[in-house]
Every structure is written in structure tokens, then in C-alpha cells.
A and B are shown apart, each in its own frame.
Chain A
Amino acid sequence: MARGHRLPRGDGRAALAYLTPALLVLGGLMAYPIYQLVLISLFDYGQEQVSGGAPLVFLGLGNYTELLADKQFWTVLWQTVGFAATCVVGTLVVGAALAVLATRVRTWARTLLFLAALGAWATPAVAGSTIWLFLFDANFGLVNEVLGSTGFSWTFDRWTAFGLVAAQVVWCSFPFVMVTLYAGIKAIPQEVVEAAALDGASTVRTARSVLLPLLRPLILVVTIQSVIWDFKVFTQIYVMTSGGGIAGRNLVLNVYAYQQAFAASEYGLGATIGVVMTALLLLITIGYLRALRKSGEEL
């Protein structure tokens, strides 16, 4: 970002002209839907209203007060935060570790690793979740067969169910982190590492003081991406715990929104949950960016 010195007026106009197409696309694809989302969240907007069978009622913040007063919403919210945090950490650790591994092994091993990772990445979420369910099936699953625990239901207990789903989420999202970080490591000029070595830096010191700072922008991107993805997990929970687990104990925010609002045709309430989620994600992202900036990173 060029800060601290102003651009000449003519340049500003030219810049605006160049940016206009992008702004139009962004406006159409993001601003308008968000505007509609906020708007709908202020109404009692159900199927009756959509198809014209009943009049629209303006509720103001009614949907919001109803949602925030719902005890289950708070339980689900904290559950979602914990679940997403676990998944983000898991994804980053696995992705980063395998990225480093990929730079250290022979070509054939790397190719194999990449093929496996791309396979996981390319698997559609519904198919992936279903395959994992087969593997962990109580009576016929391969995992129980190998462990000799036939009959043990992985999806019954709250924590094994969450653990299983988190493992699946990590499995299908680590390849993005791995590929991105691998590319980042490869792009670091060899001279820099050599210079550090000539100065007598240890491997750990090189990693911490040379590689990590250079990779920082990439780590930033993959972290924010992961936070957003894992906070919005729907398919894995919906498929693997059949819609939120026993008595809803494995619900996360997106599935909760679907069950309470969209399946029940309460679009107004659903939009409210959507607005709250968007606001939360923005807050998390801004907070993360600020924390980074404080630690001296210019973005």
C-alpha cells in the first residue's frame, strides 16, 4: 500500500477507471446479496410471504432479539467456534508439516504425496463424508474391523463424533494449505537460505528468522481462508452426524441455521443468522489482521 504520499489528481481518476469493472462485479456479487440478506433479516419472511399468501410484516430487530435470546444459539455458537478452531489448527499443522516434507523428499515420493493430496482435495464433500462414514461404520466399517472394535459407534458420542468430523474436514482441506505453502517455500530464493547458512544460523534459526517471515503473507492467507471455511462447515456435519447428531448435540451454526430457519421456511430468521455469521467472521478477520499489524507486519 502506498501510504503517506498523495497521488496526483489525474492518476486517481485513471485508477478509478481501471477499478470500475472490478467494483461493479464486486458490487453485483457481494454488496447486493448482503443488502438483501440484511433486508430480509428485518422481516417476518416465510414461504407464505414469498409466494404471496400472506402480507409482509416488518419486525425491525425482532429476529435478532429472538435469536440472541435463544439459549441453544449460544451453545451452538461456542460449539462452532471450538470446532472451527480445532479444524483450523489441525489443517495448518498437517498442511505445513506435509509442505515441509514435500520439499525434503525425492521426486517420486513428492509426486505420490501430491497425487494423494489432490485426490482428497478433489473429492466432493458429500462423497468424502459418506466414504468416511463407511470406513467408520459401527458394524461393517474397515476401521472397526482393524481395531477389533466392531459395534462401536463413532458417531454416537458427542466428542468422538466431533473428532471424526474434524478429521474429515482436515483431510479435505489440508491440501490447499500444503500446496500453497509448498509453492511459497519453493519461491524463497536459495541465496537467502545460503546466506543464513554462511552466517552460521542453525536450521531452527533459519526457519524462524528467515523462512517464516518470508512465508508470512501466505500463512496469513491460508489461515484466514481456513477460518472462514471451517466456521462455515455444513456438509460434513450434516452428512456424518445425520443433521446435527443425537438430540442436536453436534450442531454447528450453519446446520443450525438450515434446520431452524431454511428447512422450516423461516427465511427471515435464517437471514439473521447469516448476518450474525458474516459479522462474526469479519470481526475475526479484522482482529487477526490488526494483531498481525501490531506485531510489525506491513500488509
Chain B
Amino acid sequence: MRFAVIAAVCSVALAACAPVTSSGPAAQTGDEKTGQLRVWLFDEVNRAPKEEVVKEAVAEFQAAHSGVTVDVQYIQVATRAERFKAAFSDPKSAPDVAEFGNTDLAGYVAAGGFADISKEVSDWADAKDFVPAVLDTAKVEGKVYGLPWYVGVRALYYRTDVFTELGVQPPKTLDEIAPLARRIRAAKPDLLGISAGGKYTFGMLPFVWANGGDLAAVAGAKYAAKIDSAESRKGVAAYTELLADDICPPSQCAANGGDASVEAFRAGKAAMVIGGDFNRKSVDASAAAGKYAVVPLPGTTAGSIAPAFAGGNLLGVMKGTERRTLANQFLQLLGGKQYQRKMFQAMGNLPTFADVQADVAKNDAFEQPFIKTLEAGTRFVPITSTWAKIDAQAVIPTMLQQIAAEGVDVETATKTAAESMNAVFTS
């Protein structure tokens, strides 16, 4: 009897309640023209030069808008997910303007975090100079949710001293990389032929794209995995070929992501690595300093360039902001041409405006392979909130590691990965 009562009470309680949900960031309640504008930017390993530029922008902005103060907070990249989740759930603790990674965009938009600023961007004269492929990384279903602040692309770093000593040339096609790397390691057994990584998704993607494959493609209203297509498999096979004892032994390389891959090159233990323009400063402060050069990662035919992943950060306006106009004005100042140029000088961040890029490349030989890579066309991960889940569940790294370290064949591993991806896409 007593049990029945308890059960009844419980089921009533269960039926009556639902888990806590927030009412969500209310679409702007007002548009105040004074007060404090709160800004979140990412902390960096070497933040001082970035902070300098931002301070300058803040001073300029405050001088132009009386009664307005700008409060800038630097948040950790590693804990950004928690910070943004908290900000979306509690608009009171949220900033008005925030910097965020373009791969996080779709998830943040689905969570209702950022405002659609398509109109403000199309009304802005400078916006026509954005590199179109880069502006695309700020769009979800055709609407713009952020200003591209800088781009990050990867190219092939190689050791000039090693190449000269062995009398070899940088690879002309993707297919030349493996034999070349094998040859270098055979001649110099303590060097990795190329530092690849089992968790280095952005290093692997150019191989897939250059071979005509892709992670996924839009099929109807949703994405469907394409990683198990014949073209994609070719790319995956070409990349995982590098994770072998005679190039980059799995016991050393299978657990590496992008940073760890570059780290081996920095330590002077690798003859080549796929690295980003953003790795320049750290490589210049390493054992490889002064002994390296960069070329675009070649495509499948000589003279072509493998499509690179268009990484980078955006500046967005939070949906719950009470100072939408001010937020957009600040966005266009800090994200504008003048301050992008300053950020490039301070941090080496590649600008997102075509004309500023060209300008920068003219004066800096190092940037040229990266700009050439950008001009050859870049690609992106599927723009859907489900991609964040696939990323968090480590579907692609698991696939690469299965092939490189578990002896699973490319066909089976890509098929498993495609199934996992489709399960998320259709959920």
C-alpha cells in the first residue's frame, strides 16, 4: 500500500515536471546608446600585443561615443564551451560582443546565442572586400552571424637544411609526399619523414578534398556523410599512409593533434609538417628557426594546391544584447580594415579582407604560400550544429587511429565513421 502511494506520488511528480530550461536569450529588449559594452575576446599564449591593439580600439571607440565604456574580458580557449553555454543560459552574465571560433558557429547559433547581423553587414561598405569563402564561414543558412576577424590556413613547412643536404625538392603533388618522406626517414632515421597525427583532422582534410571527397554533403534538409565515398577513401588512405613506421611511427604519431604534430617539427625531429600561418612565431622560436621554408600543400596534379581548411575566428553580437547598435559599431571598428592590419602586425593574424591580404603579402614573403592557398580556394566543415557533436565524439580521429594503429582497413573504418556521422546528422 505504502509503495503504491509512493509510486503514485512519484509518477505525478515526474509528469508534472520537466528539466530546467531557460527562457533563452530574449531577442533584444532595447537598444541603449550609452552605458557599458561588454566584450569577450580569447586569451592567447602571448596576449600582450593583442591587448595593446584592443586597448587602442577601445580608446578610439570611447572617444567617439560619449557615455560609453567598453569592458574587455579575456576568456580561455580551453574552457570556452562552458563559458558560452553559461552565457547562453543566463543572458545577464553574457557579453554584448564576443570572439569565437568559426567551427563553433553553427552550434552557438542553434543554441540561440548570436544575433543575425546580415543587414548590418550588407549595409557596411567595407564588407564587399571580404574574401567570399571566408565570409561563408560566418554564415548559417545564408544568414551572417559574425564578422570574420582573421583566418587561419595551413601549408607545408619543410626543413631547408635537410632538403639541401639530401638534394631533394619540396613535393609537387600530394602523392609525392609519402615516397619523399620515406626517403628522408631512410636517410635520417631519427627524423620523422613528415610529422602527421592521428588526431590532426585539419591536416587530413586537404587530402580528402584534393581527391574530390568530402566529410559530408547536404542531402535534402540534412547532411549525409560522404567520408566513405571512393574519393574520400582515397584521401584518407593517402593521409594514413603517412602514419607508418617508415614515415611517422604510430606509437609516436597516432595520438598527436595539430599542436603536437607541429611540436615535433619545432623540436627539430621532423623534416616536414602541415602547419598554420599562426604557428610561425612559435616555429621561429624553436630548433627549426631559420632552417625552414613553407610551400602550399600541393594538390593531386603538379602546380595545383590542395584545398585547405578555412579556420579562423569571428566577432559576433550576442542575441540578448541591450546595445545592438553600439555592439555592431564596435564590431566594425575592431573587425575593420585598420585594426585587422594592426592585429596582423601585432599577432600575425591573417586579415579577412582581400585587399588587406594582398597588401600584407606584398611586404612579407612568409605569408605568400598561405595567401596563395587562400586564393586557390578553401573548404570548411559541415555548417550544422550537429558537427560540434561529431567533433566532440572524436569520430574522425577515431577513424584515423583505427586505420593507423588498430590495423582496421580504410573501407571498414570510413564506413563506421560514416555511420556514426549519419546517426548524429539525422538525430
| Chain A partners chain B | yes
Give residues in A with beta carbon < 8 Å to B: 35-36, 39-40, 42-43, 45, 47-54, 56, 58, 138, 151-153, 155-156, 242-244, 246-249, 259-260, 263-266
Q: What's the minimum C-beta distance from B211 to chain A, rounded to whole angstroms? A: 23
What residue in chain B is nearest A247 (Cβ atoms)?
B401
Q: Does B79 contact A (CB under 8 A)?
A: no
- On whether A50 and B393 interact (CB within 8 A), knowing A39-B18, A40-B19, A153-B252, the answer reads no
Extra pairs beyond A58-B18, A264-B392 (11, CB < 8 Å): A35-B13, A43-B18, A48-B385, A51-B113, A156-B250, A242-B255, A244-B394, A259-B392, A259-B394, A263-B393, A265-B389
Query: How far is it, in angstroms, between the C-alpha of A52 and the C-alpha of B251 when the chains are bound?
Result: 45
What residue in chain A is nearest B13 (Cβ atoms)?
A35
19 A-B pairs with CB atoms under 8 Å apart are: A36-B19, A42-B14, A47-B85, A47-B111, A51-B22, A51-B24, A54-B110, A56-B18, A138-B252, A156-B251, A243-B394, A246-B406, A247-B405, A259-B393, A260-B393, A263-B392, A264-B393, A265-B388, A265-B392
Residues in chain B near residue A247, CB distance under 8 A = 198, 397-398, 401-402, 405-406
Residues in chain A near residue B110, CB distance under 8 A = 47-48, 53-54
Residues in chain B near residue A53, CB distance under 8 A = 24, 88, 110-112
Query: How far is it, in angstroms, between the C-alpha of A50 and the C-alpha of B22 when the chains are bound?
Result: 6
Query: How far is it, in angstroms, between the C-alpha of A39 and the C-alpha of B14 when the chains are bound?
Result: 7
Residues in chain B near residue A45, CB distance under 8 A = 19
Residues in chain B near residue A51, CB distance under 8 A = 21-22, 24-25, 85, 88-89, 111-113
Q: What's the minimum C-beta distance from A276 to chain B, rounded to whole angstroms? A: 18
**B394 engages A248 (CB within 8 Å):** yes
Residues in chain A near residue B17, CB distance under 8 A = 39
Query: How far is it, in angstroms, between the C-alpha of A152 and the C-alpha of B251 when the chains are bound?
Result: 8
Q: What's the minimum C-beta distance from A43 to chain B, rounded to whole angstroms? A: 6
Q: What's the minimum C-beta distance from B80 to chain A, rounded to whole angstroms? A: 12
Q: What's the minimum C-beta distance from B269 to chain A, rounded to whole angstroms? A: 9
**A52 engages B112 (CB within 8 Å):** yes
- On whether A249 and B406 interact (CB within 8 A), knowing A48-B110, A48-B111, A56-B19, the answer reads yes
Q: What's the minimum C-beta distance from B35 to chain A, rounded to whole angstroms? A: 24
Q: Does B107 contact A (CB under 8 A)?
A: yes
Residues in chain A near residue B393, CB distance under 8 A = 259-260, 263-264
Residues in chain B near residue A264, CB distance under 8 A = 388-389, 392-393
Per a CB cutoff under 8 Å, which of B25, B107, B394 touches A47? Answer: B107
Query: How far is it, in angstroms, between the C-alpha of A222 and the C-alpha of B303 when the chains are bound?
Result: 67
Query: How far is it, in angstroms, between the C-alpha of A47 and the C-alpha of B145 when the chains are bound?
Result: 18
Q: Does B242 contact A (CB under 8 A)?
A: no
What residue in chain B is nearest A38 (Cβ atoms)?
B14
Residues in chain A near residue B406, CB distance under 8 A = 246-247, 249
Q: Which of A53, A152, A153, A244 neighbours the largest number of chain B CB atoms within 10 Å of its CB?
A: A53
Query: How far is it, in angstroms, between the C-alpha of A35 and the C-alpha of B13 when the chains are bound?
Result: 10
Residues in chain A near residue B113, CB distance under 8 A = 51
Within 8 A of A (CB), among B338-375: none
What residue in chain A is nearest B10 (Cβ atoms)?
A35
